[in-house]
Amino acid sequence: MNISEFQKIMKERFGEEDRRRGPYFLTVVLTSEVGELADAIKKNNRDGIREELADVMFCVVSLANVFDIDLEKEVVEKYVNQSKEKIREKWPEPVEKWKNNIVLKKFFLNRI
């Protein structure tokens, strides 16, 4: 199954309900799911990571459906059809700096 097929099924099953709840609600749920994903990553809980990634994907697809955005098309245009160098320009910070960032470490340590 590709992203478009998944998005179509989710629209058929939940599209009306998602539109009724609205994008703000869906964004709050997405934010919550991203927090749960961060907790699972912090705990190195592989089953939790799998579950939360699925929840995040569901929320992203729901938002795309509310705004009538073809998510697969957008992902392909932005990340498949561009060079690695162009994509890397969006996140110029070297990974090692992020790994060693004291502020980030304190943030995650304080969430335990």
Rg (CA), the chain: 17
The closest of 50, 48, 57, 4 to 30, measured between CA atoms, is: 57
The closest of 69, 68, 67, 66 to 17, measured between CA atoms, is: 66
Residue range 13-44, pLDDT digits in tens: 999 999 999 999 999 999 999 999 999 999 99
3-class secondary-structure state, position 54: helix
pTM: 0.79
Residue range 45-83, pLDDT digits in tens: 999 999 999 999 999 999 999 999 999 999 999 888 888
How far is 74 from 77, CA to CA, in rounded Å? Answer: 5
How far is 110 from 82, CA to CA, in rounded Å? Answer: 38
